Chain A
Amino acid sequence: MSLVKLLEKYRSRIIDEWFQIIIATYPPEAKKLFSNLKDSFNNPVGSTAIKSMTEVFDLLLKDGDSPDTLKKSLDPLVRIRAVQEFTPSQALHFIVELKRVVRDSLERELKEAGGSLQEEVGAFESQIDTLLLIGFDIYMGCREQIYSYKANHVKERTLNLLKKANVLCEVPDVGTEIIPHNVYKNGGFDNTKTSNKGD
């Protein structure tokens, strides 16, 4: 039996064990809530995790899965992990763990096959490596997004303060985009000439 056939056979067991690995990263008190998949609106963490993991696993079994579709399926879960209190490695560790889950689940079958599936296993595991790299991209994207909120807030606040202090003026069209549209009046150093009228 090919590896894909074996993975299809044990699909639900593998996905469930993989899901348990995610759940185990949360405090025990949260286990009950996050494992309860009856109401996705009351349990966005658990329901997003199982949905993402199922989709990703199925995509890995398919031939010719593109990084884009994998990214789309993995994004919602990594997006959640990226704002929870995990280090980057903790947040993405579950992806690596899929290798172990698969090997544990297929332990007997792999032994029986006596090395004939080794190549297929290797190929499947390198797909998981790709998945990890995709996860890394998503995670960094999320963090950059959050930092941009913070940075924009500071930028806006600074700009408002400068406007309030009347030290800004519009630069006429100078034919270059290098100079920012708002620059300090008089280079920003001369406070003596600031008037209340603004111009």
Chain B
Amino acid sequence: MTIPREEMLKIDNTPPRKSWMEVPPDFSKGKFCYPSQIKALEYLKMPNPREWSPTDEDWKLPPNWQEIIHKGFKERLDKYRSLKVFMDVCVRCGACADKCHFFIGTGDPKNMPVLRAELLRSIYRNDFTLAGKILGKLAGARKLTTDVIKEWFSYFYQCTECRRCSVFCPYGIDTAEITMMARELLHLLGISIHWIMDPVSNCTRTGNHLGIQPQNFKEIIEFFCDDIEEITGKRIEPSFNRKGAEILFVTPSGDAFADPGTYSFMGYLMLFEAIGLDYTLSTYASEGGNFGLFTSSDMMKKLNAKMYHEAKRLGVKYIIGGECGHMWRVINQYMDTMNGPADFLEVPKSPITGTVFENAKSTKMVHIAEFTADLIKHNKLKLDPSRNDHLKVTFHDSCNPSRAMGLLEEPRYVIKNVCNHFYDMPANTIRENTFCCGSGSGLNTEEIMELRLRGGLPRANAVKHVHETFGVNMLACVCAIDRAVLPPLMNYWVPGVSVTGLHELVGNALILDGEIERTLNLRMEDLPGAEGEGNDDDE
């Protein structure tokens, strides 16, 4: 006997069958990032600071908000030829559609890069093209309403600016730059998110996202040195703000305060100690990350300039940069035309191997993975990879170092020299095709955890494959946001896989001259085969 369908549990599973222009964004709880606070916007002298919430009907926009957007859009079209090209050239071939991790994880059509860009293009057509002005909707144009603004806020904060879609676009449209422009326009109306503006404001004030004061920054590093001393028996005394040092080292502040990034910071310190590098840390340029990139070109320029200003003040020859993601995008794609060329610095040359880093000729900033890979290649480091023998490692190419600077081989080369077990994930999920962690570009905030987990699904799915096939239990990466967001992502999708920075692995394998026999790794856990031995040592 068949049960009549009417009698079965009735649940509407059908998604709305409407044109995308008619589907309003959803601002129920958990589906948006919290807006920025008045304090941060006032401090940064940004427009329209006010109390508001995306759940409010009235977003308290300035009275002439349409004019502001129109003028702002025009200004940017005149300033950036690329934006004009990106607005005009898309033929909607769909090559990008299924490349976005958010679309792959959600199935929401407005997460297809082509449609995300269309949110902006429809206004561009309406305001700036003849066809759009005459034919309106027929030509894919629409009027600018508050709903459009709300939709922008929803979907341009569901893009992590990872640029995977751009790899597949036959025209090379950089959807990340479209997102950047949309966010700039939203800023003109005072629409921004707390998780980005607070770090930007802090960074402007104290030099780092967390607002860590110079003395605290120094204290944190000294704590690391205490731990290193306990583990290796060697005391490291890094210098701070030292004029005349050969090199300034800058890394994201995430490495200073958030595990597991902290272990990578210890790795950097140990590496520099091992080779006797003449370097200094700065308590002012204490942040490599640049949330200005997620705000506006002016803000990005300002925060980037801080590092170079400090390099100039201290009179160093060049800068080595730590394991950061978007810092490297700013350096490689924008720094040179924004604040460069950094003529007051020298072309980076490794004092140990003599290698000249021609790729950093203009920016004068070398990625630590390149620097370390070069040291290993020239046999300048004493390494014991067996200390990492309990680990089966895979490498997550962080979006920005891979796609914005082509850093693909160096981290792998380093891992293979400091670990005995390395397994790459499938080809279409790594290197320039890498999947984003799902939380980049300032979206690493707790209130949108489900969105982050959806966006991180393609990455986690590939990790799951190597976990199940090869028993991989450690995911290495070279980005502070990755190190902060991949642990919950792994915990949810692939339990049993931990997260590490590259230089944590280096620090563990590195043999320092005169060190004691190690029984602990940088996490203060027993080294494999040394369980319990650490207890014999007197303090």
- Could you tell me which A residues sit within 8 Å of B by CB distance? 21, 24-30, 32-34, 39-45, 48, 79-80, 83-85, 89-90, 93, 96, 99-100, 103-104, 107, 110, 115, 118, 142, 145-146, 149-150, 153-154
Contacts and interface: CB of A to CB of B under 8 A. Distances in A.
Contacts of B16: 27
B450 A44 contact: no
A27 B450 contact: no
B398 to A, nearest CB: 18
Contacts of A32: 98
Given A45-B457, A83-B454, A118-B1, A30 B8 contact: no
B107 A30 contact: yes
Contacts of A85: 26, 31, 106, 108, 450
A187 B492 CA distance: 37
A33 B103 contact: yes
A80 B107 CA distance: 12
B107 A33 contact: yes
B15 A41 contact: no
A26 B449 CA distance: 20
B531 interface: no
26 contacts: A24-B13, A24-B14, A26-B15, A26-B107, A28-B15, A28-B17, A29-B112, A30-B103, A30-B107, A33-B104, A41-B426, A41-B461, A43-B98, A44-B104, A45-B457, A48-B461, A80-B457, A83-B450, A83-B454, A85-B106, A85-B450, A90-B13, A99-B3, A103-B3, A146-B449, A149-B449
A130 B11 CA distance: 20
Given A30-B108, A80-B457, A99-B8, 16 more contacts: A25-B14, A30-B107, A33-B104, A41-B429, A44-B104, A45-B457, A79-B493, A83-B450, A84-B450, A85-B31, A100-B8, A103-B2, A118-B1, A142-B492, A145-B491, A146-B492
B458 A42 contact: yes
A150 B449 contact: yes
A40 B112 CA distance: 19
A34 B457 contact: no
B104 A42 contact: yes
Nearest to B492: A145
Contacts of A115: 1
Contacts of A96: 8-9
A27 B458 contact: no
A182 to B, nearest CB: 18
A45 B446 contact: no
A86 to B, nearest CB: 9
A38 B263 CA distance: 40
A38 B433 CA distance: 17
B79 interface: no
A126 B447 CA distance: 39
Nearest 5 pairs between A and B by C-beta?
A: A30-B107, A29-B109, A44-B461, A26-B107, A83-B453
A6 to B, nearest CB: 15
Most buried by A among B11, B108, B458: B11
A84 B1 contact: no
Contacts of A21: 13
Contact of A41 (B1, B12, B462): B462
B98 A42 contact: yes
Nearest to B31: A85
Contacts of A25: 13-15
B380 interface: no
Most buried by A among B97, B106, B107: B107
Interface in B85-115: 97-98, 103-109, 112
A113 to B, nearest CB: 11
B13 A45 contact: no
A20 B170 CA distance: 32
A93 B491 CA distance: 26
Contacts of A154: 446
Contacts of B465: 41
A145 B449 CA distance: 11
Contacts of B112: 29
A153 B452 CA distance: 15
Most buried by B among A79, A142, A149: A149
B9 A93 contact: yes
Contacts of B454: 83-84
Nearest to B489: A149
Given A24-B14, A33-B104, A41-B465, A79 B492 contact: yes
A92 to B, nearest CB: 9
A90 to B, nearest CB: 6
A65 B1 CA distance: 26
B428 A41 contact: yes
Contacts of A89: 9, 11
B488 interface: yes
Most buried by B among A28, A32, A107: A28
A104 B2 CA distance: 8
Interface in B401-454: 426, 428-429, 446-447, 449-450, 453-454
Contacts of A80: 457
B432 to A, nearest CB: 15
B274 to A, nearest CB: 32
B45 interface: no
Contacts of B109: 27, 29-30
Contacts of A28: 15, 17
A29 B107 contact: yes
Nearest to B109: A29
B81 interface: no
B446 to A, nearest CB: 5
Interface in B440-489: 446-447, 449-450, 453-454, 457-458, 461-462, 465, 488
A184 B197 CA distance: 32
A17 to B, nearest CB: 14
Most buried by B among A29, A103, A142: A29
Contact of B107 (A27, A39, A90, A93): A27
Given A42-B98, A44-B457, A93 B449 contact: no
A118 B3 CA distance: 13
Interface in B117-170: none
A109 to B, nearest CB: 12
B96 to A, nearest CB: 12
A41 B428 CA distance: 8
Given A45-B457, A80-B457, A93-B13, A100 B104 contact: no
A40 B460 CA distance: 12
A102 to B, nearest CB: 11
A40 B469 CA distance: 15
Nearest to B13: A25
